Structures are given as structure tokens and as C-alpha cells.
Structure 1
Amino acid sequence: MKLKSLLIGTVLAATSITSYAAGDSQNVNVALVGTPATGYSSHFGLDHLVVGTFTDVFTFSPSVGSSLLNVWVQTMSLGVNHDIDFYSADLNGNALTFTPNGGFEAGWLNPTSVSGPLVLTVSGMANTVTASYSGTLNVDPVPEPETYIMMLGGLGILSFIGRRRKKS
């Protein structure tokens, strides 16, 4: 009788583990591409080793000033193996657009202006063990208004000097 109870308890515990896939939180460094004026880029992704729903949170650092950025998230399954269905994803409250669920799924955020800490939240369902996805975040700094004023002032000075030379 005790063996039967132990076996039933083990089966119930095993089925409860496979019905929920916990989410994960990760800090991701955003790497400089060339110079700060060129921008930043980062790769991220996760493997889910348990079948079930998940919500993953990626926090990108360092925080960025006023920037223009885009995000791409994707998964590809080989038949029924490694299958993930995305439910939703957003970066700082900006929702990503997804392709329909299937063997290849992708989500993207068209260039959007943001500032501050970047937090990407991805929700979905891992339909098989060892399901995974990956993505890319690209950040292009947006010049401050003072930069445009200085540029226009410089062009004005150059045109003044050019006209002055042309008169003499």
C-alpha cells in the first residue's frame, strides 16, 4: 500500500513539473559597435528545458539616453521538436509584432524612440523539452537638440566665411 501511494505521489509530482515552465530573468550587456555615435548591439536568448508557459525578462545595460532601437526575436523548430509558441513580447511597453505560430516564428519591433533602462519581456509556451529562442537588440543614439543647433551654427559660420571670401 505504501509503495502504491509513493508511486502515485511520484507520478503527480512529475506531471506537475512538466505542466509549468518557469520564466527566467537575465541581465544582458549591450556592446558598443564602433563609437557611441555608431550605436550598440546585443544578442540574447534562452533554452527552456521544461514543457509549459514562460515569461522571461531581459534587462539590458547600460541604460541608454534618447535612442532609436529595434528588436528581433525568433525561434525555429525541427518538426515537433524544439517548438516554442510566442504569446507576446514588449520592450519598455512597446509591443512586438509576431508572425503566426508555426515551425518558424519571429517577432520584431520597428525602430522606436526610447530612453532609460531597456527591459524586454517575452511570454510564450515551450511545447517540447529543449525549446529555445534567440534575438537581437540594436540601439542607435539620437542626437540631442543642442547637437543640431551646434551643427547649424557651424554651417552658418562656414557660409558666412565663404561669402566673405567670395566678395574679396
Structure 2
Amino acid sequence: MSSRDSTSVTYDSPSMASQYSSEEAEKDAHPKYPGGKPPDPVWDHFFATPLKLPGHFAAKYKYCSTQFNRGRPNQLEIHLAKECEDENLDNEIREKYQEIVIQRQKLKEKTQASGSKQSKKQKININDYWKNEIQILAGSKKEAVDHAIIKAFAMCGLPFSIRGVTKIR
């Protein structure tokens, strides 16, 4: 067990020391939240201060004075990779987080490139399903299609302005 993993507990009286085992002290020092996501390894380099929202923390770098009002693992990794000017930061750690940031950026660029192609494919138009491109949709047929679309929106409880809606029942 490293010195970083050990927990020291101070007691008010000797009788309390016998009632309070080291296992209980460890549980108090690192409370477990059932079903919670385990913290990202980047948090090993930061002090976490709980915020009002459960699972959210402010962060302060352990070796320099850098603070984040809300510590997000991506933001903390970027700090370790390129922003931290602390000479105590091991080059191996810096290179590790530089590689993580580079890989994330490559993945982001790759998904954005393929995402733009997909969005073009997903946009549908009634003309895509209209067999005769030369013939214009007749007025009565267009009204019937519009009526069917309005009925579908009303029956499904969808708002008529769904452009900004990301979640549809």
C-alpha cells in the first residue's frame, strides 16, 4: 500500500479508536455510490471538491495552483497534456495524456467527416418517393399528404416545430 492510499484517522478518545476500525475509516474516506460511474484516472492528479450536483466536482491540480470550477475529465486531460507548466509533472504522464487528447481529436474528426455524409443521406424529401419527377404533385394529392402528416403529428403528440427537438417519443 502506498502512502497515497493510506488513510489517517484522528480520534477524540481512546474508546472511539477501538470502535472505529480501519476498514470503516477507509469507507468514510472513499464513500461508494452504488450504480455510480467510477472516476476517471485523470482525477488522481487533482483534488476534487464536491459541488451541489451529485457526481460533479470542482478540481484543483495537486502540484500547481490551477483550479477548475467544474472539473471535466476532458478538460483536466488537456491541462495535463499541454497547459500545465509544473516542473513536478512527470514527462511520462504528460505524454500519456497528450496521446489521449490526440486520439480523441482524431476520433472526433473522423466521426464529423462520416456524420456529414450520413446527415445528407438521412434527409428525406417527398420527391424521393414520387416516381414521376416530371409530373408535379397534384393539388388534391398534396393536400391529402399534408393532412396525413398533420394527423400523424397530432396523433403522436409531436410538436409542429420539431427542428430543435432531439428526443422524440
TM-score (norm 1): 0.24
Q: Comparing both structures, which one devotes a greater share of its residues to strand? A: 1
Greater relative contact order (Cα < 8 A, sep 6+): 1
More helix by share: 2
Q: Give TM-score scaled by structure 2 length.
A: 0.24
